Amino acid sequence: MAVRGLRTTPWTAAAAVLTLALGTGLTTAVYAVAYGVLFRPLPYARPDRLALVGSGRSLSVRKPDIDNWVARLRTVEDVAAYTRSERFTVRGAGEPRVVDIAIVSDRFFQVLGLAMERGRPIAPGGPVTDVVVSDRLCRDLEAAGQVVLGQALTIGDRTFVVVGVAPPSLGLPNEDVDIWLRLDAVPDVAAFGRPDVRGYQLVARLRDDATLATLTDDARRVEADLAQWRGGRRPPELPPVSALPVGEELTAPLRPVLGAFAVAAILVLAVACANVAVLLVARTLARRRDLAVRLALGAGRWRLVRGALAESAAIAVAGAVLGTVLAVGAVRVVTRLAAGELPRLDAVRVDVPVLAAGVLVAIVAALVAGLAPALHATRADAAALLGRAGASTRQGRRLRAALVALQTALSIVLVIGAGLLARTVSRLLSTDAGFEPRGALTVRLQLVDATRFDAVGRAPFVRDLLERVRALPAVRSAGVGGALPPEAGFVFMSVALEDEAGHRETIMMDFAPVTGGYLAAIGAHLLSGRDFTEADAAASPPVTVISASVVPFFFKDRDPIGQDLPFALPGTKEKPRVIGIANDVKYSGLNKPLGTTMWVPWQRLPSSVVFLVVRAAGDPAALAPDVRSIIRNLDPAQPIATMRSLEDVVSASVAGPRFRARLGISFAALALLVAIVGLAGVVARSVVERRRELAIRLALGASPARVLHAALSEAVGVTLAGVALGLGGAALAGRAL
C-alpha cells in the first residue's frame, strides 16, 4: 500500500529517493573511510592485547637497552623493537631503487602475530640475512619480471635474501615501509652510511592479566632501574614513559580530520533530510482531504501516522539501494584523492558492516524526515481538515519554510567552511617562502653505498655532477644541498644567547650544508656578501652564509660580514665566519614563519642525502632527460630517488590541506545542490497553491512584476532567514577551522 500510495505522486517520490540517496551515499562513504582507517581490526592476532611502550611518540629506547627492557618487563608475554623507516638504496632486483627500510628485532612479527602473505617471517634463530618485503614492493618486483621469494637484495655492502611478503596495511612502523630488516643484521650501522643514533620503539603483547595501566607502571619501574644502573638521570625533556594501544600510533593524528569530515557528512545528511521532509510536507498537505475522510470514518491517528511512516520506509529502502551504489563510487573517489594522506586505504571498502550502517542511516533519515509531516497533518480534527481541504494551512507553510531555512543554513555553513579550507591552500601557495619554485628542477639522491660513497667519496661525485649539469646550455644555475625547502630541513640547531643583563634566550636555527650556486638555484637572493666557492671547503676558520633574521640576534647594529658567530660548528671547535647574508627561507613548511637559517659549505658536512637543484632558462622539465643521463654516465648503479620540479615539491607540501579543501568543497556543493532543489520545490509548490489568488490579481489589473514579486516573496524571505542563520553557524565553524 505504501508503494501504491507513492505511485500517485511519482515525481515527489523520485525526488525524495534521489535526495535521500545523495545524503546517505555520502554519509556511508565517509563512514566506510573512517571505519576502514580507524576501526577495522588491524591484521594482527588479538590486536587489543598489543601495546606500544615509549615516551609519547618519541623513539626513546636506545639499541644497547633493548635486551634490558625485554628481560625486565614482567607484565608482557613478548616484546619486540622497531625504528621508523629510513630510505636506502637497494640493488640486485632490476634497476637500483631507493626504498624505505625498517630495522626490527627478530621477534617483531611473532609479537604482532602476523601471518605472511607469502613465505615466512623473520624469526629468532634464523639467518641474519633474512628480510621481509612489502606487498607493494612485491608487486613492483613481479611487474619487472623478478621472482620475489629467494631474491637477493644488496643494501650498502651487505646482501640479503627475501624470505617473506608482508600483508598490506601492516602499519608498523609506518605505511611507507618496503623492507623489514633484522636488528642483528646491522651490528655495524656505519656499513649503511649512518651513525648509530637511532631510537627504538617497543611493541609488547600483554599477558592475559595485564592492562595498559599495569604495563605503564611496569615500564616506569624498568626505566627507573635502568637510569639508576647507568648512574644518570632521565632526560627531563622526554615525556613520561607509557603504554598506548597499537592503533593509537596509526590513527591518533587522523581522528580530528576524519571527525571533521564526519560532521560535514552529517550536515549534508541533515540537509537531505530537511529536503525530504519538505517534499513529504507538500505531499501530505495535498492529501489533507483524504486524511480528513479517513479520520471521519473512524481511522485512528496512529494508523494514519503508521501509513505515512510506511511510505517513508519505502523511500528509505529505495534511497538505501541507490545510496549504496553512490557510496561505492564515492569511496573510490575519496581513496584516490587520499592516496598518501591517509593510512590503511586498502582496508577501506564497502562491505557488510558498512552496508548495514548505510541502510540504518537511510531508514532513520527517512523516518525522521517523514515523522514530523505525518504528525502535523493528523493533529487537527476531521471537521477542521474537511473545512480546509485542498488548501495549504498557514501552519503547513511555516513548517515547510522552517525546513527550507534549515537546509539553507546548513548549506551556508558548509560552503563557508569549504571556502575557508580553500583559502588556506591559496594562502599557503601564495605566501612568501623565500625562494622561487617556478623554473627549477630538483633531484634527490641517496649517496649511502659505503663501497662507493663514504664521507670522503661523496664530494668528488657531487663536484663532477655539478660541473656537467652547469655545462648544459639551458642551465642558469645549479647547486647541491642537504635540504630542500619547504619540507626537507636538514638539522635544527639550538643556540643559547645571553645579553649584558644576563637574560638568556634560545633560538632554533635551520642548519643546512650547501654548495655554491644552491641559493641562486632555489631562487633565494644574497642581500650582501658572497656565495660559497670551492676554496671555502677547506677554509680556516670555516665560513657561513646566514639568513637576514639571524643578524639581529648576534650582531645588533654591526655589519656581520667578516665577523665570527659566537659558537662553533657541529663537529669542530672553530667559530664560523660570516661571508654572506641571504633572505630568509621556509625550510620547515609553508605554514611556518620564515626561519633563521645558517648555510655552510656542503663539502665540510657531505650529507648522504643530497638535493640537486637546477634553475633552467626555460621549462625545467626539458632538462630532466639530460640530468638523468649525466647521473647514469657518472654512476650507472646510482638510483634517482625523485626527480620533479620545485613547483611540484611545493604543491606536494600542501597535499593534505588541498585534500581537505577538495572534500569540503564536494560536500558543500552537494549540500548546496540539495538546498537549491528544496528551494525550487517551495517556489513551485507555493505558485501551485496560490495560482487562484495570482490569477485574480492579474485579472484585477496587477502588473506581472507585482505578481512575480508576490509569488517569490516567500522564497526570498525563507532564503534570507536561512542565510542569516547559516552565517551565525559559519562564524562558529570559522573558529574551529
For 141-171, the pLDDT digits (tens) are 888 777 889 888 888 778 899 999 998 877 7
Residue range 674-696, pLDDT digits in tens: 777 767 766 766 676 677 877 88
- Same domain for 462 and 558: yes
**Angle between helix 624-634 and helix 458-470 axes, rounded to 10 deg:** 140
How confident is the prediction for the chain on average, in pLDDT?
Answer: 79
Residue 189 falls within a domain, yes or no?
yes
Q: Give 51 or 42, the one with higher predicted confidence.
A: 51
Rounded to whole angstroms, how far apart are CA atoms 281 and 287? 10
What domain range includes position 269?
2-38+254-426+657-736
Rg for the chain, CA atoms, rounded: 33
pLDDT score, position 420: 79
- Same domain for 361 and 271: yes
Residue range 406-424, pLDDT digits in tens: 878 888 887 887 787 788 7
Q: Give 213 or 275, the one with higher predicted confidence.
A: 213
Question: What is the mean predicted confidence (pLDDT) over 700-706?
Answer: 81
pLDDT score, position 467: 94
**Range picked from 315-329, 459-473, 581-595 for highest mean pLDDT:** 459-473
Q: Are 404 and 722 in contact (CB under 8 A)?
A: yes
Number of folded domains that form the chain: 3
Q: How confident is the model at residue 66 (pLDDT cuts 50, 70, 90)?
A: confident
Q: Which helix (H) or strand (E) holds 489?
A: none
Residue 17 falls within a domain, yes or no?
yes
pLDDT score, position 524: 92
Residue 47 falls within a domain, yes or no?
no
- Check whether 283 has a pLDDT greater than 80: no
Closest listed residue to residue 39, CA positions, set 254, 230, 340, 189: 254
Q: Give 332 or 735, the one with higher predicted confidence.
A: 332
Residue 50 falls within a domain, yes or no?
no
Question: What is the mean predicted confidence (pLDDT) over 306-326?
Answer: 79
Q: Which of 624, 646, 668 is the last residue of a domain?
A: 646
Residue 32 falls within a domain, yes or no?
yes
Question: What is the mean predicted confidence (pLDDT) over 65-69?
Answer: 82
pLDDT score, position 293: 62
Q: How confident is the model at residue 184 (pLDDT cuts 50, 70, 90)?
A: confident
Residue with cell 481511522: 299
Per-residue cell: 132: 621481509
- Same domain for 626 and 478: yes
- Same domain for 321 and 419: yes
Instruction: Note if the pTM is more than 0.75.
Output: no
pLDDT score, position 179: 92
Question: What is the mean predicted confidence (pLDDT) over 86-115?
Answer: 84
- Same domain for 674 and 639: no
Residue with cell 558548509: 414
**Range picked from 183-187, 451-455, 471-475 for highest mean pLDDT:** 471-475
Rounded to whole angstroms, how far apart are CA atoms 684 and 676? 12
Question: What is the mean predicted confidence (pLDDT) over 27-56?
Answer: 82
Q: How confident is the model at residue 500 (pLDDT cuts 50, 70, 90)?
A: low
Q: Are 546 and 510 in contact (CB under 8 A)?
A: no
Rounded to whole angstroms, how far apart are CA atoms 380 and 231? 85
- Same domain for 632 and 492: yes
- Same domain for 185 and 279: no
Residue 651 falls within a domain, yes or no?
no
pLDDT score, position 188: 45
Q: Are 13 and 315 in contact (CB under 8 A)?
A: yes
Question: Which letter does DSSP use for residue 513 in this model?
Answer: E
Question: What is the mean predicted confidence (pLDDT) over 78-91?
Answer: 83
- Check whether 253 has a pLDDT greater than 80: no
Question: What is the mean predicted confidence (pLDDT) over 424-447?
Answer: 86
pLDDT score, position 375: 64
Q: Give 519 or 604, the one with higher predicted confidence.
A: 519
- Could you tell me which residues are beta bridge partners of residue 476? none
Q: Which of 584, 611, 646 is the last residue of a domain?
A: 646
Rounded to whole angstroms, how far apart are CA atoms 61 and 55? 9
Q: How confident is the model at residue 195 (pLDDT cuts 50, 70, 90)?
A: very low
pLDDT score, position 522: 93
Report the share of the chain in percent with pLDDT over 90.
Answer: 15
- Same domain for 18 and 87: no
- Same domain for 165 and 276: no
pLDDT score, position 391: 46
- Same domain for 612 and 463: yes
Residue range 368-408, pLDDT digits in tens: 777 766 665 555 554 554 555 444 456 556 766 777 788 78
Q: Which of 616, 646, 676 is the last residue of a domain?
A: 646
Residue range 220-243, pLDDT digits in tens: 888 888 777 665 555 555 567 888
- Check whether 40 has a pLDDT greater than 70: yes
Residue 103 falls within a domain, yes or no?
yes
Residue with cell 659566537: 566
Q: Are 165 and 210 in contact (CB under 8 A)?
A: no
Residue 512 falls within a domain, yes or no?
yes
Q: How confident is the model at residue 304 (pLDDT cuts 50, 70, 90)?
A: low
- Same domain for 208 and 100: yes
**Angle between helix 352-377 and helix 394-430 axes, rounded to 10 deg:** 140
Q: Are 578 and 411 in contact (CB under 8 A)?
A: no
- Same domain for 65 and 179: yes
